[in-house]
Amino acid sequence: MEKESHHFQAEIQQLLDIVIHSLYTDKEIFIRELISNAADACEKLRFGQSSGQAIYQPEIAPAITVTTDDKAGTITIADTGCGMNRGDLVENLGTIAHSGTKAFLKQLAENKKPDISLIGQFGVGFYSAFMVAKKVTVLTRSLAADEPGWQWVSEGMGGYEISPAADLPRGTKVTLELKDDAKEFAQAQTVERIIQRYSSFVPFPIELNGKRLNTVQAIWARNKNDIKEEEYNEFYTFIGHDHEKPLFRLHFSADAPLAIQALLFVPQRNFETLGMGRIDSEVNLYCRKVLIQAKAKGLFPDWLRFLKGVVDSEDLPLNISRETMQDTSLMQKLNKVLTGRFLKFLEEQSEKEPETYGKFYHEYHRFLKEGVVTDFTHKDALGKLLRYESSALEAGKSTSLADYVKRMPGDQKEIYCLLAPNRSAAEASPYFEVFKERKWEVLFLYDAWDEFVIEHLHSFEEKPLRLAEKAELNLSTKHEGALSEDAAKDLAKWLKDTLGDKVNEVRVSQRLVESPGVVADSDKFMTASMRRIMKAMKPDGPDLPAAKYDFEINPAHPLVGRLNAMRQKDTALAGSVAEQLLDNARVAAGLLEDPRTMLSRLNSLLEKVLAKE
């Protein structure tokens, strides 16, 4: 049989026109496409073997060989896979049986900057060769024992020629004569880099000019019971570029609602706190072991950006493009499934490996908190992961909200949280007194972000979260020697008159045991601790509008009793004491910006005390 000329199907001509003339910058993906085809062919060979079919050259193992010739300006991708007979050639490399080209053309037409990188997803990856080649030659011999070999040659738009070829080994060899502006793909170094990037996990050996390239397996696609610890760690080193072992590892697969295989790692260290600036997620998206998108955007929420690993999904549809990938409902679905699964994993780890979880929490709690504040979808799952010190536990130990709720006595309706710089400050806080007296547990929150977390989380297991300073609680017992209700109210009124604008309102407190007075927020928009945070963030910034507090006094405190007596006798002295009491309460709340302002008053008070001797 002699040479036969063929035209490309109209749609393929159209496609070639775009591909050949594209100014697309990531031309390198043609290597990924041709290697993927070679790998598919190897897979089909295996399938043929396992089905008991008579195979030509059965002793030759499936493998992929790439050779470059920079003098000739060619690159060749050969495989020992299933090969093609004449009918296959015409059907596969010239016409299109499925709707791939149409869908791809439509997508290219809709995009102003066509993204050819997804060409493989549309089932027309082979034609990407024409981005870089002026001539493509395919030599192929089918796995069937009685088929001859064939040559297929095309210089693009004009069509292709098929002729018989003698003495071919089984498989396919695709040779590209590179265009002048694509000669770099005849350079071994360049090609090696590209193969490592996209095709590291192709499950058949790839050799480039005699050198074996892909030595790390796509272990995510294997059964986890067959994978050794060292293999996981080696894989992590490879993809994570991290010399330490990972802190956590999650390997899972799912069939519904999406086919997913994922292998995710949490590094030992939070690189963001190591002064590296904001980190980027390093989870790569694969489709059947071939890289689709490195550091895939939108695969996980931002607050999980510390994750490294691989997600492989066969369900990536034909109608995605890189720019719109983030918006597709598929990506959102993937995101939701993956995030939910990872949070569930963390919850399990917190029970199975509390110590490792503690380490994780120490490194990454800010990310979880960022999640609570920014992501409504996973709030409940995130709430379960929070850990705080508590008045019911010794220092250094922390509790989950779930365990706190279990310990709540029946008459306690809310979860109480106290913001403080550290444990001793929390225990000395006047806001803690009523809880201590009632023996109710309070969570101690030392992180400035926690106030926002409490606010956004709002409740846990239907129990509202309440800041201790906002708790409306009364002491369980009345104290001896307290001012009468009327006397206390009169004193409160006098204090308001005396302190004037410095306070919003003066009240008789029902929650103080040891302290004479306490300030309480009356500002609904800016709580005391939010003020502290804002001040800490911008110490030299403009002054915040003057804070207004309510002042609560303890009618059972001796100081308050004596102040009440004194105000009849020495109004000036009583006034000074009143101001000092307020300042003391502000100090206790961490709200006195410059304590020096009270020194002169304090000194004159001391003078008066000493003068009485």
Q: Provide the binding-site residues for Mg ion, judged by CB under 5 A.
A: 37, 125
CB of 297 to ligand ADP, least distance (A): 25
Q: Which is nearer to ligand ADP, 148 or 590 (CB)?
A: 148
Of these, 123, 203, 205, 298, which contacts ligand ADP (CB under 6 A)? Answer: 123
Using only C-alpha atoms, the chain has a radius of gyration, in whole angstroms, of 36
Asked if 434 is part of the footprint of ligand ADP (rule: CB under 6 A), the reply reads no
Kindly report the number of other CB atoms within 10 A of residue 156's CB atom: 19
227 or 318: whose CB is closer to Mg ion? Answer: 318
End-to-end CA distance of the chain: 127
**What residues contact 131, with CB distance under 8 A and at least 6 apart?**
19, 20, 22, 24, 27, 30, 116, 182
Beta carbon of residue 40, minimum distance to ligand ADP (angstroms, whole number): 6
Token pair of 50, please? 């396992």
453 binds ligand ADP (CB under 6 A): no
Sheet architecture: strand order including 260-266: 248-254, 260-266, 308-313, 282-287, 290-293
Residue 126 near ligand ADP by CB under 6 A: yes
d(CA 371, CA 304): 8
Beta bridge partners of 265: 249, 308
238 near 263, Cβ under 8 Å?
no
81 binds, among Mg ion, ligand ADP, none (CB under 5 to 8 A by kind): ligand ADP
Beta-ladder partners of 332: none
82 binds ligand ADP (CB under 6 A): yes
Asked whether the beta carbons of 515 and 430 are under 8 A apart, the reply is yes
Q: Which residue is nearest to Mg ion (CB)?
A: 125
By beta-carbon proximity to ligand ADP, the closer residue of 162 and 337 is: 162
x/- contact string, 163-182, with ligand ADP (CB under 6 A)? Answer: ---------x----------
64 near ligand ADP (CB under 6 A): no
Q: Least distance to Mg ion from the beta carbon of 157, Å?
A: 21
CB 307 within 8 A of CB 285: no
Figure out which of the listed residues 62, 125, 246, 267 binds ligand ADP, where binding follows CB under 6 A.
125
CB of 328 to Mg ion, least distance (A): 22
Interface with ligand ADP, residue 93, by CB under 6 A: yes
Q: Considering only residues 29 through 58, tell me which ones interact with ligand ADP, judged by CB under 6 A.
A: 33, 37-38, 40-41
Of the ranges 102-110, 121-129, 361-369, 375-383, which one interacts with ligand ADP (CB under 6 A)? 121-129
Q: Which of 81, 246, 430, 555 binds ligand ADP (CB under 6 A)?
A: 81
ω into 62 cis (within 30 of 0):
no
Residues 6+ apart with CB under 8 A from 444: 388, 389, 390, 391, 418, 420, 423, 426
Q: Where on the phi/psi map is residue 288: left (φ > 0), alpha (ψ -120 to 50), or beta?
A: left
Q: Which stretch binds ligand ADP (CB under 6 A): 122-130, 226-234, 260-268, 396-404?
A: 122-130
- Among 547, 582, 548, 545, smallest CA distance to 563 is for 582
313 strand-pairing partners: 260
Would you count residue 139 as binding ligand ADP (CB under 6 A)?
no
Residue with Cβ nearer Mg ion (85 or 172): 172
Q: How far is the CB of 33 from Mg ion (least distance, A)?
A: 5
Neighbours of 59 (CB within 10 A): 5
Query: Could you say which of Mg ion, ligand ADP, none residue 172 binds, taking C-beta under 5 to 8 angstroms by partner kind?
Result: ligand ADP
- Cα distance between residue 530 and residue 164, in whole Å: 80
Return the number of the residue (33 or 469) whose C-beta is nearest ligand ADP: 33
Residue 41 binding result from ligand ADP, Mg ion, none, given CB thresholds of 5 to 8 Å by partner type:
ligand ADP
Residue type, 525: F
Q: Which residues from 188-247 bind ligand ADP, rule CB under 6 A? A: none
DSSP bridge pairs for 153: 137, 161
Under the rule (CB under 6 A), what is the footprint of ligand ADP?
A: 33, 37-38, 40-41, 79, 81-84, 92-93, 123-126, 172
